Amino acid sequence: MSIVYCVPFSHKNIESLNQELQKIKEREIVVTSERLFDTNTGIFYDVEVEEFNPNLLEAFLYSRDEEDVSFGHEINQHKLIMYLLVEPENLLESIDIVQCLLNAGGIGVKNEVTGISFKKEEWVNLAGDKSPELVYEYFVNIVFDQKSIYSVGMNSFQLPDSYMHTSKPTDEEIYVINEYNFHRLINIPFNTVDYSLVAEWKKDHRFSEKDICYNYNGITLLKPNL
């Protein structure tokens, strides 16, 4: 599974959520404790449902640049949590599914792979656009550690992530990784006069295979072509 959404609700149970989903005329969705069925496309999605989680607030606010008191208060009032599991081939359809869940009382959404959370009004921008640039921005994150800078989330597109060896990441390196990834997404070679690269594919060594961030498509080491 390459895409996992976390959507908290103020609803007390699945029955209450389904009542709200029935009010959405443009798409018919039925949810149980284990499956979500989109009757428009005939696609079944696996779901996991939990009750209140006291750690959810911290998880949702961790990726945001500044503390959002009102958003945090809403998240902390949740009573139900749905984890929606999506295969990469259904990525674009899943954007609309998440929008329906938000319209039916979802408080926000978090991409469990990238760790990035979104408010309702932020997600509606993606649902109304779905341009490659915006989809990439919402589904890929750049992460640093002591020895490297790397992307997470390219498995959503069935593509390898990318990384570079560095102890002090620069804006240029962030730019190069994002541009290299995006050009792979749109299937256009990445060429730049200012930066010549050597790309070397490797098995994903960053995470264990059981980790949600593990990329079965591998990871590409990017090195300057000196």
Residues 158 and 94 in one domain: no
Out of 117, 133, 149, pick the residue that ends a domain. Answer: 133
Give the position of tokens 């509606």.
124
- Residue 176: CB atoms within 10 Å: 21
Domain, as residue range, for 177: 140-224
- Cα–Cα distance measured from residue 16 to residue 83, given in angstroms and rounded to the nearest whole number: 17
> What's the total number of domains in the chain?
2
Do 47 and 112 lie in a common domain?
A: yes
CB distance 33 to 110 below 8 Å: no
Contact 88, 71 (CB under 8 A): no
What is the model's pTM? 0.92
- Tell me which of 133, 157, 181 is where a domain ends: 133
Residues 24 and 89 in one domain: yes
Q: What is the mean pLDDT of each successive set of 10 residues along the chain, which is 226 residues long?
A: 92 94 91 94 96 93 78 93 97 97 97 96 96 97 94 97 93 94 91 74 95 96 83
Of 97, 114, 133, the last residue of a domain is 133
- For the chain, strand residue ranges (E) read 3-9, 29-31, 35-38, 43-51, 80-86, 108-111, 117-119, 141-144, 148-152, 161-165, 197-202, 219-224
What 3-state class would DSSP assign to 136?
helix
Signed CA dihedral, 90, 107, 57, 119: sign only:
positive
pLDDT of residue 190: 78
Task: Give the E-state strand segments of 52-185 in sequence order.
Answer: 80-86, 108-111, 117-119, 141-144, 148-152, 161-165
Same domain? 117 vs 144: no
The confidence score (pLDDT) of residue 62 equals 85
Same domain, 106 and 149: no
